[in-house]
Each structure stands twice: as structure tokens, then as C-alpha cells.
Amino acid sequence: MILFPAIDLKDGRCVRLERGILETATVFNDDPAAQARAFAEAGFEWLHCIDLNGAFEGCSANAEAIQAIRAAVKLPIQLGGGIRDMKGVEGWLSAGITRVILGTAALTDPGFVRQAARAFPGRIVVGADAKAGRIATQGWAETTELTPAELGERFEDAGVAAILFTDVDRDGLLGGVNVPVTVALARAVSIPVIASGGVSGMEDIKTLLAANEPNIAGLVIGRALYDGRIAAKTALELVNSARRR
């Protein structure tokens, strides 16, 4: 399991939201590139970046900050938020982003997601963001009737790298990872699942590891890292130890 430290961008700064609501933003760092360097120095293997403005506006809106992050570290980066056409996918991949996350587009234009996955094998992640168990789109502003498993099943044969499952109801609230739903999704699809939303401390990592579900490929950690509830060194040692077993 890979631990993905989150850098969520709003107006060029690193923030955390509560339940995806922009007005709840707490600024944790005015310098995203410096934050990226700190995560790299802590030993993380990947970065998880979300353009929050872009997610709501439907197009990339924090390009300068993202480019600064890319220039600051050598770590692979997965990026989401406002990427909804092939031009956006191609642009970010050619700019050095390792994987792009397609959330709203996975629902509104699944054909495009399939096309992108064929064109860039292993570099497309499907975002499955859920409110009350149903997929949310447009920066989590709208909710559908589709479940995360149903969305994932649509892309079983598409060649996507992973499904990023976020429990929006828990995101940014430190209420704990929704382990049962994450495990159920990982067992319902063959695509690797990355968990996100609600990480509150080391116990969440331990519980997810204890589920012993090989299809859970990663965990995104945000606020708990920024406010010190999780120490990077301790978390990474735990996950690395689990890999060796």
C-alpha cells in the first residue's frame, strides 16, 4: 500500500476542506512547492495533488502552483481537478505529471475516459467520490444515483491504473476512513483501489492494513499529516514493514 500525501490547491495555496466545501478551506501552506519538498524529504514515494478551483470551474485553475510543485520534486505526481478533455490530459502528462485523475468526466463522458486510458496505459485514474454512498460530481457539488462499485464496473476493461475512492462525507473531518466500504469496493472490482477521506490517525492506517485486502493499493492522507496527528516517519515505517511481511 502506498501512502499519498495530499496537496489540495485553492487560489495557489495548500488547503484542506471539510466535505469538499470551498468555504471551509483552511490554509496550511502558502508555498505548494515548499510543501512538496517537505513531503519528498519525509520519504513519501508519490504526491497526490488536487486543483480545487479547477474541480469547480471545469478547467485547470492552479497551473502555476502545479508546475512549481513539478519543478520542486522528482516524485511521481497524480493530479486531479478540472481535467475533462483529451487536451487537458495530454497537456498535464506532457508537463511531467505521472497520472491524471478523471472524476466528473468518468460519469459525463466515459467514452473519453476509455479513450484516454487506451492512449495512456497506466496513467489514468478514475475518481469515485461518494456522498451518502452515491457518486458526486462537479467538485462534489452534485450527487448522482450511481454507487462507486457501479462506476468502477464501467471501467473494468478500460485499462485504468486505479480507482480513487473518496468518502466525501468524511473528507477533511478526521472522522476515520470508511474501511468497510473501501474493502467492499476493492472486492467488487479488479481495478486497484486508492482510499481517501477521513484519515484521522495511525489507527486508520493500521485498520486498512489489517483488512488484508490486496486490491487496496494506496491511501491518501491530508489534514492528519498537516496538523501532526500522523507523523510521516512512523506511518511510512508501518507501511514498509507491512510490505515486507
Tell me, yes or no, if 85 is annotated catalytic: no
Distance, CA of 201 to CA of 223 (rounded, Å): 10
- Region of 19 please: left (phi>0), alpha (psi -120 to 50) or beta: left
Distance, CA of 197 to CA of 194 (rounded, Å): 10
Tell me, yes or no, if 157 is annotated catalytic: no
Distance, CA of 134 to CA of 168 (rounded, Å): 10
Q: Which of 8, 51, 167, 204 is catalytic?
A: 8
Q: Which of 30, 85, 109, 129 is catalytic?
A: 129
C-alpha cell at 120: 495512456
In 3D space, the residue among 161, 133, 144 whose CA is nearest the CA of residue 107 turns out to be 144
C-alpha cell at 43: 520519504
What residues act catalytically?
8, 129
